[in-house]
Structures are given as structure tokens and as C-alpha cells.
Amino acid sequence: MSRAFNFSAGPAVMPEEVLQQAASEMLDWHGSGMSVMEMSHRGKEFISIYEQAEADLRELLAVPAHFKILFMQGGGLAENAIVPLNLSQGEAMDFVLTGSWSQKSLKEAGKYGTARVAASAQADGFITLPAPATWQIGSDSRYVHICGNETIHGVEFHELPDLKALGCDAPLVVDFSSHVASRPVDWSRVGLAFGGAQKNLGPAGLTLVIVREDLIGHTLPHCPSAFDYKLVADNQSMYNTPPTYSIYIAGLVFQWLKKNGGIAAMEQRNIAKAQLLYDFLDSSSLFENRVAQDCRSRMNVPFFLRDESRNDAFLAGAKAANLLQLKGHKSVGGMRASIYNAMPIEGVQALVAYMREFEKTQA
């Protein structure tokens, strides 16, 4: 059996070396006589795995000391509720709508306070980003929410907004589920960032929250205890049992990132991969990407065949060529290639070669 190139949006491709290492350590982790999934989360073996993972992540993402790193559960969707439960104080929040994920965040937050739309790109079909200078942020805003990378629409903020420069003191909340660790983060502009692990960090089950300390401790009374950032932070993410195996695998991914030059090197690789694919799409007469040039995602590349009757043939041929999970999200149709950190450039080269061939034979 050979491994294919996997373009899934998530759960997604993992570095092969990480899978091999996990396999070799499956039955007996470092002479402990146990698999990691059999260890107490309070034992010294797992604590060492956890501490190493946290330290590596802090180093990789250059997280400042006044931010807490929380390893939680519930995924990005649960954070759509957990963030307002912890930060809104039941008051107003502002959302920038740039695609499906920010829309979901807005809707969920409305259960816990007044969720307002500061700006929206819906009118143009979510293929642009509204310029920060046009955002309508209330002076009473508890936080401003953006989705850093819209996984479905393929739109990415290439620079985080500087809210202070807009005269806004509210913290910025970023859903970075689908581009965390693909590029550096300017923490001076961020109050809280969250993301599920299954796009770029590891297996599903782990949710990463990185939050400025002063934003912790204002939780609404009806917030479930397991989702109270203060309780989670005060207990080193072990208020209840954390997703131990997912943390272990994410830790192996962090080691892999460090070995491969860290986030700066990863960003350069991601730029090269994305450029290869977008350059081909822009030169093609059969395929197209509709997102504005300046906000195209480096991680998720949605594209369409101008003749949609060829979609099934395209997907069947891709599968035969070992290029998997290219079907677009059902809400937008077409195709989507997710090219996260663990996708090697060879995968993108193979995809472009297949598309070029497909275009020729169908002409």
C-alpha cells in the first residue's frame, strides 16, 4: 500500500515521519511499558510530554510570556461559544464576516451577548476582505472577532488588523484553526487566538487557545466549568482529562516543525506551494480561482472547472493518480485543495501536473 497525496481540509495530511514515530512508540513509549494513550494524565511520563509540547509551541509561535497556552477540547465550533462565555460579559461583540466560519461564530455568540456585524464581504460572495478602515466597531465592544483563514472560501488575512490604529481598545479574537503554524503571528495585535488541531497541528480532539492573561477571569457565571479559561489555566489544562493522545501527536508535529526550520521556513514553503498552484490556475483556460489576489489563502485553494460537467471525471482521474479529497465543500461546490504544512511541494507539483494533463486531454 502506498500513501497518496491527501488534500483534505481537515482532518488532514500529517507529516509521515510523525506517523512513523508514533507507530514505533505505540506499544511502549520511551521504555515506560505503556502506550501514551494508556498513561495517566497526571503521571510524570505524560506531564513531560505535555510540558515539552507546550514549550515547543511557545517557542515556535513566539508566544509572549503574558499569554497562556490552553489545551482544550470541543473544536473551533465549541470556542464560538466558549470565547463569548469568557470574554463578552454578556455585552456587545463585533464580528467581521468573511465566510462560513465567521458567520458561524457570529451566530453562536449571539446566544451569550449582543453579536454585531462590523463588516461583511457577503455581498461579493466572500472573495474579498473588507478593509479594516471600513469596519464599524462599537466603542462598547468587548472584542472583535475575525477568522484568520476561511477554510471553505479560501480567503486569508495576510496581515492582522491593528485595532489600536483604528482607535479601538477592544481585544482582537482570531479563529486561526486552518492556518495556525503556517506563518508567524503578530501577538501585539492579538488578544486571543483559537483553533482546532486537525488542520495544521495534529489529530482532531485537541483545541488550542492562546489568550492574553488579562482577558482571563471575566467568565459568565453559567459558563461550564470545564470551559472556564481561568479554571483551565489555573490547572495547567488539566482541570479535567485533556486529549492526551492528540497532545502527544501535536507535540511530535511541533518537533517536526522545529527540525524543519520552524515557522519562518514553513511560511516560505507555504508561499512557494500556494504560488505554484495559483499561477497554474491563473494561466489555465479550464480551471479558475475566484478569490481576489491579495487575500488568497495559502492553505485552502478552492477552484472550479469552467465546465462543471467535467467535475466527476476530474475527481475520478485525480483519485486514480493518488490525489485524494479534492472535492470542494458542499456549500460552494467545485474543488478545493488544502495544502497545509504537512503537504510537501511534491504533492502540489503532482496536482498541477495532473490538472495540466486533464486540461490537455479534455480540450
- Ranges within 166-195 binding ligand PLP (CB under 6 A): 175, 177-178
Helices (H), 61-112: 75-87, 100-109
Whether residue 199 lies in the annotated active site:
yes
Instruction: State the catalytic residue, choosing from 29, 94, 135, 199.
Output: 199
User: Catalytic: 256?
Assistant: no
SS3 79: helix
CB of 34 to ligand PLP, least distance (A): 28
Interaction of residue 88 with ligand PLP, rule CB under 6 A? no
Distance, CA of 147 to CA of 196 (rounded, Å) = 13
Whose cell is 475527481? That residue is 315
Candidates 64-72, 73-81, 125-133, 310-318; binding stretch for ligand PLP (CB under 6 A): 73-81
Among 98, 103, 141, 151, binds ligand PLP (CB under 6 A): 151
Told to check if 76 binds ligand PLP by CB under 6 A, we report yes
Residue 75 engages ligand PLP in binding (rule: CB under 6 A): yes
User: How does DSSP assign 132-191, residue by residue?
Assistant: GGG----TT-S-EEEESEETTTTEE-SS---TGGGT--SPEEEE-TTTTTSS---GGG-S
Q: Between 147 and 163, whose beta carbon lies closer to ligand PLP?
A: 147
Q: Indicate whether 10 belongs to the interface with ligand PLP (CB under 6 A).
A: yes
162 is catalytic: no
**Is residue 340 a contact point for ligand PLP (CB under 6 A)?**
no
For 132, other C-beta atoms within 10 Å of its C-beta total 21
Strand 300-305, strand 335-338: pairing: antiparallel
Min dist CB 249 to ligand PLP, Å, is: 15
Could you say which of 171, 196, 203, 251 contacts ligand PLP (CB under 6 A)?
A: 196
CB contact at 8 A, 362 and 353: no
Q: What is the spatial distance between Cα 356 and Cα 259, in angstroms, rounded to a whole number? A: 34
Give Dmax over CA atoms of the chain in angstroms.
63
Peptide bond into 11 cis (omega under 30): yes
Report d(CA 174, CA 181) in Å as an integer: 13
Q: What is the nearest approach in angstroms of ligand PLP to the Cβ of residue 170?
A: 21
Is residue 227 close enough to count as binding ligand PLP by CB under 6 A? no
For residue 297, state whether it binds ligand PLP (rule: CB under 6 A): no
Binding flags for ligand PLP, 91-120, as an x/- string (CB under 6 A): ----------x-------------------
* Nearest residue relative to ligand PLP (C-beta): 75
Q: Please report the DSSP string for 296-329 in residue order.
A: B-SSEEEEEESSGGGHHHHHHHHHHTTEE--BPP
Number of chain residues interacting with ligand PLP (CB under 6 A): 12
Active-site annotation holder among 68, 94, 101, 273: 101
Give the residues lining the site for ligand PLP (CB under 6 A): 10, 75-77, 101, 147, 151, 175, 177-178, 196, 199
Catalytic residues: 101, 175, 199
